[in-house]
Structure 1
Amino acid sequence: MKAGIFKPLKSKPFRSLFGAQLFSDLGNWLDLIALQVIVAYHWGLDETAIASVIIVLGLPWVIIGPFASVFVDRLPKKAVMIVCLLLRVVFVAGLFFAPNLYILLLFVFLKGTVSALYDPARQSAIRMIVPDSLLPEAVTLSQLSVNMMKIAGPALGGGIIALFGPKSPFLFEAAGFLIAVIFLLFLPNLKKLEKSEEIEPAGKPEKRKYWFDFSEGIKHIAHTPLLKISIILSSAAFFIIFLYDGLFVFIAQHLGFSEGNFGLLISAVGFGSVAGSLLLGQWTKWNRKPIHLMASSALFSGTLIIAVGLGGVGVFNLPPLAWIIGACLLGLLGAGESVPYGFVLQSETPKHMMGRVSAAAMSLQTFSMLIAPAAGALLARWLGVPSVMIGAGMATILLGSFMLLAIMKGGALNQPPKEKQIQA
């Protein structure tokens, strides 16, 4: 028990998979910083160009990922991940040599497409190689990688740009993807596990219809209450977060943060996320009632968001340190939503359809993330930035309250995921 969150790393296959994820996640954040610096500083383009990059980056997850994931479930997962990483190296080279915004957007889209295929394959691999008893720790480690690279990636990217120029992070990103490939080469062949988990539709032992497989994943979400409600909660939470995320720099000005110490506020959120992931990985009793934790985290984080909004209109006049501590708590509570969601996604999905289900869920979340910033900007112009924060906090509290009411009704939401495992 002392190993806590790191117990899954005793497994050699998971070590290989996790090592690949670390370098893949790092590459993603190096990429994001480099793209924005090139567009805004190197080419001197406006906010519309930055917005187009963000939209094109997320578009493949919405329009391609869910449909292509059917093939991901049919193909060998190890081969899919390796091919996707190698293609990402090629497309990163395209980003490095892109002469203008249009060529850049093309390679951003292509890279986003293979990323949207890589992640379902990675989720499937986790489900195959990690025993059910270690799923909470494995999912938490995976989320920890994401949260850590959100902090390390931008900091490292900024340093690389300062030393070697605006396009240099792409070279480091490509190297990271190649290192990830090396890690995956040590991953055992998953073909036997995949075959043992496959279920052929009755009457069609050999050829499975594409739309049958596609709809099977959607139907599974619709007919699994715990999974369905966690996806809805997570997607709504993403929408609310990204409603105010782009406005955070403006609310920071209202709170008295300068250009120099604004970074401390963002770093505090990231630090809280990492601390929350470590805490949940060490204490895994929450895995029996993950929705309870998600709902409770939403209630408390909504209260903090309202406090930030009220600070923006002068109701609360606190020193910067107090707001930094609040930002840290906000990040910690964010882990209280993201980690249980990842566990529900894994534990409530049969291994043979992990790719389809995870891609469908990611599609809904990404769609929320894409439309929210525009809605937030419009609301900010109409109502003001602090009002958007207060509204977002109230919406978060309502979301958590709705979830608690659904829990109080009992039924499937109160059953521990491991007791409702769908046997593949």
Structure 2
Amino acid sequence: MKQQSSRTEEPHLSNVENPSRPVNSARNDVFPSSTPDNSSGESATKSSKSLWTNLKFVRLFMAYALATFGDWFDALAIQIMVAYRWGADPLIIALIPVCMAVPGILFGSVAGALADRLHKVRIMILCDGITIALTVGILFAPSPAWLLPLLALRAMMSVFHVPAQQALTRQIVAEEQLFQASSLNGFVNQCAKIAGPLLGAVVLAFFSPQICILINASARLLSGAVLWPLRRLVEKKEALVTDEHNEENQKEPETFFKQWQQGWKYLRHTHTVRNTIVFGCLGLMSILMVEYQFTTLFREIKPGNESMLGWLGSSVGAGAVFIILLLNRLPRLGYGWGLGGGYFLIGAGIAGLGWVGPDTSTAWIIMLGLCTGLGNGLFMVTMNYLLQKETSPDYVGRVFGIQNSLYSVVLVAAPLAGGAIIRSAGPSPTFQMIGLATLAIGLTGILFQRMLWSLNRRSTSSEKVGSAQQGVS
């Protein structure tokens, strides 16, 4: 249940928020006010237009859709190739997600700093090009000994690609349309989770796994081609500091290492963003303990009904798509209700699966899957939007890079911990316990949302960036 987000653009980047005002606005809601900033009539005009009139956003959205669809098409083929065609040991199969998570741990924060320092579109195009080469390499990999390093290197390209996308989105989309852009990309991600494996299975029924891998390479090629006209996009830097001390420091050229340090300092001094990432890590740890164990659960309670897993996966995806479409029509939603409510629903769905028995009907499984999917979509869209909106534009890449790094650590540690708990306690009690823990985390987010995401405790953008830079100096 991962989350991914989107990105967009405007001709001269003039719809970035006014640098003279704090980046963190005085609202604790997912849907920003429709009232435009009085200091920018031009921004108000642009924000009133449909997001689809922003041709640069359309290009980025198409590129993201192609890349995401290809990745899910590819994932199923690789599993089939390793498990069935090569007959690999279960340990080798277990190493696949680990190899794909390690690059995020090692390079997540570095990739974020580079996204804020270098040209974002060119980073994305370069990553697409290298991904194509690595995917072709996977196509001809003779054994797992070749496959695992190639998968790790390809995952590294995504580590560098995502922060660049997020940072570019923050720069080129009007603040009033950031939530819509995030939800659209979440919609594509959830649709790809459903359609990608389904269509991949159809292709596998008539062709080999190599055809699916080739389709992924082609999708990445199209993604790079769609982005190619944006390679000369002029990126405008935001003037974020106002005090004299920091103005003097900004005159000196900043090294990459200093910018990397500033990303961590900024996160430490930014109340809302820091709490959001910590809250996300806690909930994600609980979820990932059981996310890879659904087969273990159904194998124990319904050993002769393999279709249950398919019904569950489809209902989770359908629930996420439904809530994302609904969020686009809501006038207002608090951060606490989006983040805490999302984890509450996910926890309720997981705990409910822990009480499923041999006589439980398929309809009940579908209802629990829908509940889990609703929570997943609600949390994912809110998280991506909050991090984009509440982060200063010059720090978006670094913040998402740090988030990626921390989440990758969770991605490695949580499944191992969950497997150990299931081995000692059994699948059903573990699902009940983990589900209730996730539900409690969500309830905490709802009840204490004013403390976790309140605006009256936030400092202004210049104060936060100034304190971060002074800490680095």
Normalization by structure 1: what TM-score?
0.90
Contact 2:308-2:362 at 8 Å conserved across structures? no
Deviation at 1:160, TM superposition (A): 2.0
| Match 1:397 to one of 417, 435, 439 | 439
Alpha-carbon distance in structure 1 between the residues aligned to 2:276 and 2:370: 24
* Residue 349 (structure 2) pairs with residue 309 (structure 1): no
* Residue 147 (structure 2) pairs with residue 104 (structure 1): yes
| Match 1:252 to one of 298, 321, 343 | 298
| Match 1:157 to one of 200, 205, 219 | 200
Shift of the 197–189 alpha-carbon distance from structure 1 to 2, 3 Å rule, reads farther
In the TM superposition, 1:310-325 aligns within 5 A as 310-312=355-357, 317-325=359-367
* Residue 370 (structure 2) pairs with residue 352 (structure 1): no
What SS does structure 1 have at the residue aligned with 2:391?
A: coil
2:77 alignment partner AA: A
* Residue 218 (structure 2) pairs with residue 178 (structure 1): no
In the TM superposition, 1:183-332 aligns within 5 A as 183-187=226-230, 189-193=232-236, 195-196=237-238, 202-203=248-249, 205-254=251-300, 256=302, 258-286=305-333, 289-312=334-357, 317-332=359-374
Alpha-carbon distance in structure 2 between the residues aligned to 1:191 and 1:331: 39
* Residue 422 (structure 2) pairs with residue 422 (structure 1): no
Shift of the 284–16 alpha-carbon distance from structure 1 to 2, 3 Å rule, reads farther
Contact 2:335-2:453 at 8 Å conserved across structures? no
Q: Percent of pairs identical after alignment? A: 26
What SS does structure 1 have at the residue aligned with 2:251?
A: coil
Alpha-carbon distance in structure 1 between the residues aligned to 2:224 and 2:251: 34
CA-based RMSD: 2.4
Contact 1:136-1:284 at 8 Å conserved across structures? no
Runs of 4+ in 1 over 4 A off after TM superposition: 196-201
Alpha-carbon distance in structure 2 between the residues aligned to 1:8 and 1:360: 28
Deviation at 1:422, TM superposition (A): 3.3
Deviation at 1:17, TM superposition (A): 0.5
1:339 alignment partner AA: V
What SS does structure 2 have at the residue aligned with 1:45?
A: coil
| Match 2:379 to one of 294, 314, 337 | 337
Shift of the 325–404 alpha-carbon distance from structure 1 to 2, 3 Å rule, reads closer
Alpha-carbon distance in structure 1 between the residues aligned to 2:59 and 2:206: 31
Alpha-carbon distance in structure 1 between the residues aligned to 2:73 and 2:460: 38
Alpha-carbon distance in structure 2 between the residues aligned to 1:235 and 1:175: 34
Contact 2:115-2:167 at 8 Å conserved across structures? no
What is the count of residue pairs matched by the alignment?
A: 411
In the TM superposition, 1:115-126 aligns within 5 A as 115-126=158-169
Equivalent position of 1:366 in the other structure: 408
Contact 2:345-2:374 at 8 Å conserved across structures? no
Instruction: Report which stretch shifted further, 381-390 or 231-240.
Output: 231-240
Alpha-carbon distance in structure 1 between the residues aligned to 2:91 and 2:331: 44
What SS does structure 1 have at the residue aligned with 2:356?
A: helix
Alpha-carbon distance in structure 1 between the residues aligned to 2:326 and 2:101: 30
Alpha-carbon distance in structure 2 between the residues aligned to 1:197 and 1:204: 10
Alpha-carbon distance in structure 1 between the residues aligned to 2:83 and 2:239: 48
Equivalent position of 1:27 in the other structure: 70
1:387 alignment partner AA: P
Alpha-carbon distance in structure 1 between the residues aligned to 2:272 and 2:312: 34
Instruction: Report which stretch shifted further, 355-364 or 198-207.
Output: 198-207
Alpha-carbon distance in structure 1 between the residues aligned to 2:84 and 2:331: 45
Alpha-carbon distance in structure 1 between the residues aligned to 2:345 and 2:158: 33
| Match 1:388 to one of 430, 441, 445 | 430
Deviation string, structure 1 residues 342-366 (Cα, Å, up to 9, x no partner) = 1111011111121111010111112
Alpha-carbon distance in structure 1 between the residues aligned to 2:136 and 2:436: 44
Contact 1:143-1:339 at 8 Å conserved across structures? yes
Alpha-carbon distance in structure 2 between the residues aligned to 1:203 and 1:307: 55
Deviation at 1:271, TM superposition (A): 1.1
Deviation at 1:107, TM superposition (A): 1.0
Contact 2:178-2:389 at 8 Å conserved across structures? yes
Alpha-carbon distance in structure 1 between the residues aligned to 2:315 and 2:443: 27
Contact 2:298-2:308 at 8 Å conserved across structures? no
Deviation at 1:292, TM superposition (A): 2.7
Deviation string, structure 1 residues 70-89 (Cα, Å, up to 9, x no partner) = 22221111111111101100
| Match 1:375 to one of 399, 413, 417 | 417
Alpha-carbon distance in structure 2 between the residues aligned to 1:7 and 1:269: 30
Deviation string, structure 1 residues 238-271 (Cα, Å, up to 9, x no partner) = 2211111111123234554711343121111111
Shift of the 420–275 alpha-carbon distance from structure 1 to 2, 3 Å rule, reads farther
Normalization by structure 2: what TM-score?
0.81
1:276 alignment partner AA: I
Instruction: Report which stretch shifted further, 179-188 or 23-32.
Output: 179-188
Contact 1:95-1:104 at 8 Å conserved across structures? yes
Deviation at 1:298, TM superposition (A): 2.1
